[in-house]
Amino acid sequence: MAAVAPATLPTGRDIRLDLFRGLALWFIFLDHIPTNIVSWLTVRNYGFSDATEIFVFISGYTAVIAYGRMLVRDGWPLAAARIARRVWQLYVAHILLFVAFTAQIAWVSTAKPSLIAEMELLGLGHDPFRAVLEAALLKFRPVNLDVLPLYIVLLASFPFVLPAILRWPVAVVCVSGVLYAATCHFVWNLPAYPGDKVWFFNPLAWQVLFYIGAACAAASPRLAWFDRWRRPLTVLAALYLLSSAVIALSWQYNPLGRLIPDWVGRQIYPIDKTNIDLLRVLHFLAVAWLVRLTVPPDARFLRWPVLRPLRRCGEHSLQVFCLGTFLALSGQVVVSHYEDSIVSQIGVSIAGLVIMSAAAYGAAWYKRSPVKDTKRGQAPEAIA
């Protein structure tokens, strides 16, 4: 594939990205509430990948859209500075979320002391000064606060890769794949705190999906090259998704488990999330391929009013993600108080989604107000 000219970058706003990004945020919220029956509506239970893969892929795709043209028009220093500013915004958001989340856990733990251990915050009580330092270094965090640090690291390295991804997207993906393979083979990861812990989402591995997304944006007109094999690729993708759904459902239903030969289990397990197992990558790519074929950019249903809350959440992903993480713990506490009743699970799920959507609409209203930055060169920010 020839080097991609900057002029071939996607123009305008692809509302598919907003819709599926919002859907990923809803799924993450629902999946973070343990024993939540509503989480059966998410993709996690029907295959090897889940909403995290959607989130990271779209992050890479939109990062190229947001900063690629700025690089060409205004030069690398300004584009790098804008990316650095976004990284700082993400970092501040993570620290504020860490403080709020930790305070929430501390308050709830007065009635449920075991929650501190469940959320992996014991290090804060054993050595609080060291824990605060490690939290500032992104090495110490409670459960469910792993996505933002992953994206901070990926976006912080992005300025150095952006010029290459615009010109040689295939080469960048190849290099990314080599790093991914080496990371899985040599078990590389970043250190975490306390003890010998490592990052739950290993940036050295998850970068492969981020840069696949970035390459798809940089080379979007060239993706039609794959259409010459549309039929066999579609059949393979459908068969892979069907087989992975059977395997994933077999983890919940023993009768299905008896249909899976023992040799299959020996070959595929464990399906690692920390280093994004290859089966997870292939599963997401199969989903993405079918979505590309069935959901064109001008699909009329994308603008249905009923889907507007999803699009709004996708447009303001950082605020909605932080709020959803906070609400998920609140939902967990409420569901636990009512002894995991189905009514409480459904109730907190609906309430959380309504609050997240309301926050997104509020952010959209504020963005449309006269108090906004209208300076030349302003570009849409990459997602968080």
Query: 12: pLDDT confidence band, cut at 50, 70 and 90?
Result: low
User: Has residue 132 got a pLDDT over 80?
Assistant: yes
> What type of residue sits at position 128?
P
Burial class (CB in 10 A: 0-12, 13-18, 19+), 323: buried
Task: Indicate whether 326 belongs to any domain.
Answer: yes
CB 6 within 8 A of CB 166: yes
Count of domains observed in the chain: 1
CB 184 within 8 A of CB 275: yes
Task: Indicate whether 374 belongs to any domain.
Answer: no
Least confident span in 229-238, 249-258, 323-332, 360-369: 249-258
CB 198 within 8 A of CB 150: no
pLDDT at position 224:
80
Paired tokens of 349: 């799920």
pLDDT at position 370:
67
Task: Indicate whether 383 belongs to any domain.
Answer: no
Residue ranges making up the domain that contains 343:
6-367
In tens, the pLDDT along 141-194 reads 999 999 999 999 999 999 999 999 999 999 999 999 999 999 999 999 999 999
Residue with tokens 């603008």: 303
Paired tokens of 355: 């609050």
CB 194 within 8 A of CB 140: yes
Task: Indicate whether 274 belongs to any domain.
Answer: yes
pTM, entire model:
0.92
Task: Indicate whether 343 belongs to any domain.
Answer: yes
Residue with tokens 């249905």: 304
Task: Indicate whether 372 belongs to any domain.
Answer: no
Between 13 and 355, where is the model more confident? 355
Task: Indicate whether 150 belongs to any domain.
Answer: yes
Please state, in angstroms and as integers, the Cα–Cα distance from residue 321 to each residue in 21, 119, 269, following that order. 10, 18, 31
Task: Indicate whether 290 belongs to any domain.
Answer: yes
198 pairs with which residues across the strands?
191
